[in-house]
Structure 1
Amino acid sequence: MYSGQQVAIKKIPNAFEVVTNAKRTLRELKILKHFKHDNIIAIKDILQPVVPHSAFKSVYVVLDLMESDLHQIIHSRQPLTPEHTRYFLYQLLRGLKYIHSANVIHRDLKPSNLLVNENCELKIGDFGMARGLSAAHSEESRSFMTEYVATRWYRAPELMLSLYHYSLAIDLWSVGCIFGEMLGRRQMFPGKNYVHQLQLILSVLGTPPESIVSSIGSDRVRSYVRSLPSKAPEPLAALYPQAEPSALDLLAAMLQFDPRERISACQALEHPYLAKYHDPDDEPVCVPAFDFEFDRQSMGKEQIKEAILAEIQDFHKKKQGVRKKIQFKPLHSSSAGVGCAAPQSETAQTRTNLSFKPTDTTQTQTNVNSFQAPHHLTQILPHLAQVSCQDVDMPSANSDGQPETIDLTTPTDKDTSFNEPATNCTKEELVVSNQMLPSHPISQTPPTSSLPQSIPSLSLTQSQAQSLSQNLTRSLGKGGKATTGE
C-alpha cells in the first residue's frame, strides 16, 4: 500500500536486445526481491506487461524515491561535515554486511550507486554486476575476473593485477575509495586508463610486496610492475590532513593491497570511528543466502524474457491481498537539488539528527527506515543548500559485457587532471504517466547513475488509487514512451 508515498519508476528500455544486459536485469530483479534491508534499495512494484509477448520490450520497476546520490552530494559546493561522512559510511557498511552475509559480492560500489534521501538515509543500488561468492572460489574464478568491467576508479588491485582468488574484500576496497572521496571531495584514483590507474594506486600505497607481485596471474602485468621504481607509501594524513586519526586508521585498513589483510564489513562496523552508531543487535544479516544457480545457466534472449516474466508474476502473486493499486499524480514543482536540514518531525530528528532537505518540503514524502541511530548523537548538522553540482563523469560498466583492454604501452602524462571527464555512465530513464502532466516540460539534471538525482515527483494518494498498468496501457500498448506533451 503506497497511499501518499512518492516513488521512483525505473524504466529499462529494450531490455532484451543484448543478452548480457537482459541477464543483468534478471539478476538485479532476483536480488532485490530477495533482499529486505533499510540500506538497500527496495522494489515497491513491477509493472505487469499489458502488451503481447512479442511486444514486451521494456521493464518498469517501482523503487524507493531517493532525491539524490552520494556522487552528486560529494561533488557539489555544499558543505559535507565529518558527521555526514561518518553516518554515510556507517549505513554503507551496514548494508554491505547484509549483502555479504548472503554470499553476494556487489562488484560495482561507487558514489553514484549509493542513493540518498532528504533525511541522509543511504541505500545501496544497482546490483546488475553482482555475483555469488562461490564463483570467486571455483572454476568460474577466471571468468569472474575477465568479465569484471565495472568502474575502474573503484576497482580492487586483485582485479587489476589478475590475482586469484577473489573474495568479498573486492567491495571493501571500493568502500575505501568512496570513504576517501568523501574525506577529500575528490576521487582517490581517477585513472584515465589501466596504466594510469595502477600508477595512482601505487603512488599512494607504494610498491606492493613481493608476495603480491609473484601472485600476479599475467606475465606482462607482473613484468610491468617489477619494472617500476620502488615507491614508499604516501601517509594518508598528508592526503587528508583534516581527517581524524580514527578515520585514517579505518581508511588504511580498507585500502590494503593484499585482500587477505583488508578489513571486512563486520570488522569495519566495530571500528572506533563508527562507535557512536555501531549496534550489533541492529545490523542484520540475510538468511537464507542468495542462490546464483540461475546465473550459471546458458540462456538466450527469449529464455531470459520468460524468466523475467516469471519474476514479475511471482512478485505480484506474493503481493496479492496486501498491495494497493496506485496511479500517478505529478507534483507541480520539482526538487532536483538536495540539501541538509533539520528533520521535519521530532521522530525523524530522534532517529538520525541528520537530514537532506529539498526545496519544497511541503510536497516531499520520505521513506522512514526502521533502524535507530544512537540517541546520544545530539549535534544538528548544518543545512546543505540547494546549489549546482560540480558533476564529474566516470567510466562505468561496459554495456556490451566486454572486458577492458589492458594496454601497458600507452604513455601517461604525469600531470593529470583528476576531474577530466571519462566515459559517461549508463543512463536508465525514469518515466511518468502521460496523463495529468503539467503543460510545461519537466527539467531534469543529467543522471550519473541508473537512478538520477532529479526524479519526477509522483504523488500516490489513496483517493486516487488505480493500477499502474491501467495508467500506462496506452503508452506501452503503442510501444512508445509516456510523453509530456505540450
Structure 2
Amino acid sequence: MWGHKVVEVTPSKLASGVPQTVPESPSTEDRHATLNWVKGELIGKGSYGRVYLALNVTTGDMMAVKQVELPANEQERNDSRQTSVVDALKSEIDLLKDLYHPNIVAYLGCEASVEHLSIFLEYVPGGTIATIYRTPNQGRFEEQLVKFFTRQILEGLAYLHAQNIWHRDLKGDNILVDANGVCKISDFGISKRTSDAYDSFANATNMKGSVFWMAPEVIHSSGQRTYSGKVDIWSLGCVVLEMWSGQRPWGELEQVAAMLEMFRNKSAPPCPPDIQLSAVARDFMYSKCMAEEPRDRPVAVELLKDEFILDTDPSWTFGNSTIGKAVAKRQPKTTLRSASASAPGLF
C-alpha cells in the first residue's frame, strides 16, 4: 500500500503496542514506514467480496477494505465462480489505481496475503443513495437533493467516460454519500476500459450489470450485437428514478419479468403514478437518459448543461436538508485514540 510494507494487526496488538498519538504531518521517513491496519466489522457484502471497516494504525484514519478469498487448492483454482470473483477484484484494482476524482471513491492501495486479496478504499460513512432512501422516515428525495446528487454523479461519469471507462453497474447501491453530501461512484468489479467510451463497436457483447438498472441494448447483447458507454447514461436515469420514487426501478416486477419487458418493448421503468414530475424533470429522465435508442441519449458532459441540472435553488443546502442532517449523524470517530478506545465494540 503506497509502497509500504503492509501488516494486519490484531486488536490486542493494537492495545499493547501502538502509540496513542500520530504526527499530524508525518515525515518522509514516517510515510515509508511499515503500515499497520486492523480489520473491523463487516459493513457490506455482495457478489464480489466482503467489505470491512478498518483502522489505518499508521495514520489513525478509517478505511474500507474489500476482500475476496484466494483459491487455496487445485479444486478451488478450477472453480470458475471463485476465480471470477478474484478476477473482478483484480480488475477493480487495475482501474481504480489510476483514477483521481472527487466523485469517484478513492483507491488507497492493495494487498495480497496467503488467504485474501484486499483493496483499500476511502471510508465513506454516510452510506449509499439506496441505504438512505431505505432508511425509515427518509424514502423519496426532494427535488433539490435529486438535482444535487445527479450533478455529482454526472461529474463522476463524465470523468470515467473521458478515461474510456464504462462503469456498467451504476445504481443507488453503488453510489456512496459522505457527511457533506459528496457522492462517490464505487464498485468497479465489472467495469470495462475501452478504446472509445461512446463507440458502440468498441467491443462489449456480453450481458453485464444489475437487471433493474440495465439498458435494453445490454439485454439484447449477444454475438455481434454490441453496446457502448451510453448504457451508463440509461442507468443514471434509473438512479434518478430511484431518488424520486424511494425504491428500485421496476419496483413491482421481479428480475425475469423486468427483463422480458425490456427485451420485448425496450421499455423504461415507469414512474409511480403518485409522483408529479415537472416537464423538465420528465424530459431529462425519460427523453434523454432513458431514450430507447442509445444514439438519442446525450453524453455525460452534455447532460451537465441540461436545464434540469442548472435550474437550482441557490438558498438550498445539503447540510440543512432533512437527509443531510441524517447523513451527518453517521460520521464516525476517526482519530487513532478514539478508534482504539472503542476497539471492543468495533473490532
What is the TM-score when the length of structure 2 is the normalising length? 0.66
Is it true that 1:264 corresponds to 2:299 in the alignment?
yes
- Cα drift, residue 485 of structure 1: 10
Q: What displacement does 1:72 show?
A: 0.8
Residue in structure 1 matching 2:99, options 32, 35, 52: 35
Residue 56 (structure 1) shift: 4.6
What does 1:413-432 align with in structure 2 at a 5 Å threshold? none
Shift of 1:145: 3.0
Partner of 1:197 in structure 2? 259
Letter in 1 for 2:126: E
Q: Structure 2: how far apart are the matches of 1:111 and 1:103?
A: 22
Q: Deviation at 1:173?
A: 0.6
Q: Is residue 2:94 matched to residue 1:130?
A: no
Q: 2:92·2:188 contact (CA, 8 Å) conserved in 1?
A: yes
- 1:382 corresponds to 2:322: yes
Q: Match of 2:101, SS?
A: coil
Aligned to 2:205: 145
In structure 2, the partner of 1:353 is: 317
1:300-315 pair list within 5 angstroms: none
The AA in structure 2 aligned to 1:199 is E
Q: Which residue of 2 aligns with 1:274?
A: 309
Q: Return the alpha-carbon distance in structure 2 between the equivalents of residues 256 and 41 of structure 1.
A: 28
User: How far 1:176 sits from its partner (Å)?
Assistant: 0.6
Alignment partner, residue 81 of structure 1: 142
Residue identity over aligned pairs, in percent, reads: 23
Confirm or deny: 8 A CA contact 1:24 1:129 kept in the other structure.
yes
Q: Which residue does the alignment assign to 1:297? A: none
Inter-partner Cα distance in structure 2 for 1:106 and 1:195: 24
Matched, 1:8 2:68: no
**Cα deviations by residue, 1:228-256 (Å, 9 ceiling, x for unpaired):** xxxxx97x6x7464222211110021111
Task: Work out whether residues 205 and 221 of structure 2, in 8 Å CA contact, stay in contact via their aligned partners in 1.
Answer: yes
Give CA-to-partner distance per residue, 1:388-421, whole Å, 9 cap, x none.
Answer: xxxxxxxxxxxxxxxxxxxxxxxxxxxxxxxxxx
2:160 corresponds to: 99
CA shift, 1:43, in A, is 1.9
Aligned equivalents of 2:346, 2:159: Cα separation in 1: 44
Q: Does 1:19 align with 2:78?
A: no
Per-residue deviation at 1:24? Answer: 1.3
Q: Output one character per residue of 1:53-112: Cα deviation in whole Å (capped at 9) or x when no partner.
A: xx2524251423332100011223226211111101111001000000000000010101
Matched, 1:166 2:230: no
Q: 1:273 to 1:10 in 2, by over 3 A?
A: same
Partner Cα distance (2:196, 2:227) in 1: 9
Q: How does 1:215-254 map to 2 (within 5 A)?
A: 239=273, 241-252=275-286, 253-254=288-289
Aligned pairs for 1:259-338 (under 5 A) are: 259-276=294-311
- Name the one with the larger strand percent: 2
How far apart in 2 are the matches of 1:139 and 1:267?
A: 21
**Equivalent residue letter for 1:381:** S
In structure 1, the gaps of 5 or more residues are 207-232, 278-348, 356-379, 388-453, 467-481
How big is each residue's C-alpha offset from its partner over 1:285-334, in whole Å with a ceiling of 9 and x where there is no partner? xxxxxxxxxxxxxxxxxxxxxxxxxxxxxxxxxxxxxxxxxxxxxxxxxx
Structure 2 CA distance for partners of 1:239 and 1:27, relative to 1, 3 Å? same
Is the Cα contact below 8 Å between 1:15 and 1:21 reproduced in 2? no
Question: Could you report, residue by residue, the CA deviation over 1:145-169 in whole angstroms, capped at 9, with x for unpaired residues?
Answer: 33x3421100110011227231110
Change (3 A) 1:196 1:2: farther
Alignment-derived partner of residue 394 in structure 1: none
Tell me what 1:320 maps to.
Answer: none
Deviations 1:341-383 (A, max 9, x none): xxxxxxxx99x8213xxxxxxxxxxxxxxxxxxxxxxxx4235
Q: Residue 465 of structure 1: CA displacement?
A: 12
Residue by residue, what CA displacement relative to the aligned partner does 1:153-195 show, whole Å, maximum 9, x if unpaired? 0011001122723111010110011111111222232442334
Distance in 2, Cα, partners of 1:177 & 1:240: 17
Across the aligned residues of Structure 1 and Structure 2, the Cα RMSD in angstroms comes to 3.9
* Equivalent pair of 1:43/1:62 in contact (CA under 8 Å): yes
Say if 1:15 and 1:25, in contact at 8 Å, map to a contact too: no
**Alignment length (residue pairs):** 272
Secondary structure in 2 aligned to 1:177? helix
SS across alignment from 1:109: coil
Q: Deviations over 1:179-234 (max 9, x none)?
A: 1111122223244233443326877948xxxxxxxxxxxxxxxxxxxxxxxxxx97
Counterpart CA distance in 1 for 2:285 and 2:200 is 30
Instruction: Decide which structure has the larger Cα Rg and report it.
Output: 1
Aligned partners of 2:129 and 2:173 also within 8 Å: yes
Cα distance in 2 for residues equivalent to 1:383 and 1:172 = 25
Which of residues 134, 155, 160 in structure 1 aligns to 2:214? 155
Q: Distance in 2 between matches of 1:13 and 1:188?
A: 29
Task: Supply the AA of the counterpart residue of 2:185.
Answer: I
Are the structure 2 counterparts of residues 45 and 172 from structure 1 closer, same or farther at C-alpha, using a change threshold of 3 Å?
Answer: same
Q: 2 CA distance for matches of 1:257 and 1:2?
A: 55
